[in-house]
Amino acid sequence: MRLYPELSSRRTRTIAADVAVLLAVLLFAWLGLKVHDAVMELTAVSDGVQSAGGVVQGALEEAGDRIGGAPVVGEQLGDALRDAGRGTGGEAVEAGRAGEEGIGDLADLLGWLTFLIPAGLLLSRALPPRLDQARKLTAADRVLRAPDDDERRVLLAQRAAFGLPYATLLRHTPDPLGDLAAGRLDALVAAVREDAGLR
């Protein structure tokens, strides 16, 4: 399969276009990572909630342990304080963990969407014509690389004179039909090869 034209100007343009598409896809990947990282910075809030919940839980449990030794109601008050610590602080810690997981999921989703949507749109526009170009180059290469004899050269010259745009023909000869009639085929064969992107 032939991926690039042989003519240097066309090859340079094709390679430049391929590199531009590749760089754009890499840019979209980088942007996706940046969006992911920016959203993940929100985990500082959930870390703060977890830390505050842990402090509240620890303080209430410590108070419950200290009061638990008091006579008459100490054990009941101590249990109540420890339960309150698990209820308020423990729930805050769990809420912080759940928030952190949610933020991570959101960061992943937004990062992938930031990459996939523009990259998908770009590739859906860039790949079909590029694949079509490669198919045409491959087909032209197969046809034009066959052994050159006089009969094939006449057919190729006729193909040029009757099928190529006049601007392409005039780049090779000032009188394409006169050249064909007179048997001067080199310029016409060169025009067919140029049109196909081959030397």
pLDDT at 36 over 80: yes
Question: What pLDDT was estimated at residue 137?
Answer: 86
Sign of CA pseudo-dihedral 5, 11, 17, 23: positive
Give residue 77's pLDDT band: very low, low, confident or very high (50, 70, 90): confident
Average pLDDT over residues 138-149: 77
Query: Quick one: residue 72, left, alpha or beta (phi over 0 = left, psi -120 to 50 = alpha)?
Result: left
Instruction: Report pLDDT digits (tens) over 109-134.
Output: 999 999 999 999 999 999 999 999 99
**8 Å CB contact between 29 and 39:** no
- Distance of alpha carbon 184 from alpha carbon 175, whole angstroms: 10
Helix axes 150-163, 186-196, angle to 10 degrees: 70
Question: What pLDDT was estimated at residue 21?
Answer: 96
**8 Å CB contact between 121 and 24:** no
pLDDT at 83 over 80: no
Q: Which two tokens stand for residue 182?
A: 């007179």
Average pLDDT over residues 146-163: 83
Instruction: Report pLDDT digits (tens) over 129-142.
Output: 999 999 988 888 88
Question: What pLDDT was estimated at residue 3?
Answer: 84
Residue where the block lists tokens 């057919």: 155
- Distance of alpha carbon 143 from alpha carbon 130, whole angstroms: 20
